Chain A
Amino acid sequence: MKKIASLVQSRQRSVRIAATVFLAPVIIIMAVFIIYPIVSTFSISLFDWNGISKDREFIGLENWKMLIHDRVFWFAFKNNLTLMVCSIGIQIPVAIALATFLDGAGRKVNFFKVVWFLPLLMSSVAIGFLFSYALATTGGIVTTISQSLGGGKVDLLGRAPQALYAVISVVAWQYIPFYMVYFLAGYGNIDINIYEASIIDGATRGQYFLHIGLPLLSPMIKSACILSLIGSLKYFDLIYAMTGGGPGTATELMATYMYKLSFSHFKMGYGSTTAAGMFILVTGFALMMQTILKGNGSSNDE
Chain B
Amino acid sequence: MNNSRVKSNIAWTVAGILAVFWFMITAIPFLFMVINSFKGQFEMLQKGVFDLPDSWFPTNFIGVLENGFLSYFFNSVILLAICLTILLFITACASYPLSRMKFKLRGPTYALIVACMSIPIHVTLIPIFKMSTVIRTYDSIFALIGPYVAFAIPISCYILTTFMTSIPASLEESAEINGCGKFRTFFHIILPLSKPGLSTLAIYNGVAIWNEFAFANTLTQSRKAQTLPLAISAFKGEHSMNIPVIMSVLVLTVLPMIILFIILQEKLVRGLMAGAVKG
**Which residues of A approach B to under 8 Å, CB–CB?**
12, 14-16, 18-19, 22-23, 25-27, 29-30, 32-34, 36-38, 40-41, 44, 51, 94, 97-98, 101, 104-105, 109, 112, 115-126, 129-131, 133-134, 138-141, 144, 173, 177-178, 181-182, 185, 204-206, 219, 222-224, 226-227, 230, 233-234, 236-237, 240-241, 254-255, 258-259, 262-263, 268, 271-272, 275-276, 278-279, 282-283, 286
Contact = CB atoms under 8 A, between A and B. Distances in A.
Contact of A121 (B48, B96, B258): B258
A221 to B, nearest CB: 10
Contacts of B102: 15
Interface string B133-172: 0000000000000110111010001000000000000000
Contact of B149 (A29, A182, A230, A259): A29
Contact of A51 (B18, B126, B146): B126
A25 B233 contact: no
B273 A185 contact: yes
Contacts of A27: 94, 109
Interface stretch (B60-68, B193-201, B245-253): B245-253
B128 A226 contact: no
Interface string B222-261: 0000000100110010000001001100100110011001
B210 to A, nearest CB: 7
7 contacts: A12-B103, A51-B129, A115-B26, A126-B232, A129-B246, A255-B122, A279-B120
A26 B157 contact: yes
A104 B18 CA distance: 14
A35 to B, nearest CB: 8
B52 to A, nearest CB: 14
Among B23, B124, B182, B211, the one with the most A-chain Cβ atoms within 10 Å of its Cβ is B124
A39 B168 CA distance: 41
Contact of B276 (A123, A182, A237): A182
Contact of A124 (B103, B122, B211): B211
Interface string B94-118: 1011100111001001000100101
A209 to B, nearest CB: 10
A259 B122 contact: yes
A121 to B, nearest CB: 4
Given A140-B49, A254-B122, 8 more contacts: A29-B150, A51-B126, A51-B129, A121-B254, A126-B232, A139-B45, A141-B28, A241-B233
Nearest to A19: B97
A141 B120 contact: no
B124 A19 contact: no
B186 interface: yes
Interface of B is mostly: helix
Interface residues of B, number: 86
A286 B279 CA distance: 11
B25 interface: yes
B269 interface: yes
Interface of B: 4, 7-8, 11, 15, 18-19, 22-23, 25-30, 32-33, 44-45, 48-50, 90-91, 93-94, 96-98, 101-103, 106, 109, 113, 116, 118-131, 146-147, 149-151, 153, 157, 182-183, 186, 210-211, 213-214, 218, 229, 232-233, 236, 243, 246-247, 250, 253-254, 257-258, 261, 269, 272-273, 275-279
Contacts of A94: 22
Contacts of B236: 129
A230 B118 contact: yes
A232 B236 CA distance: 27
A101 B213 contact: no
A21 to B, nearest CB: 8
Given A237-B213, A255-B120, A271-B126, A126 B253 contact: yes
B237 to A, nearest CB: 12
Contacts of B97: 18-19, 22-23
A178 B211 CA distance: 16
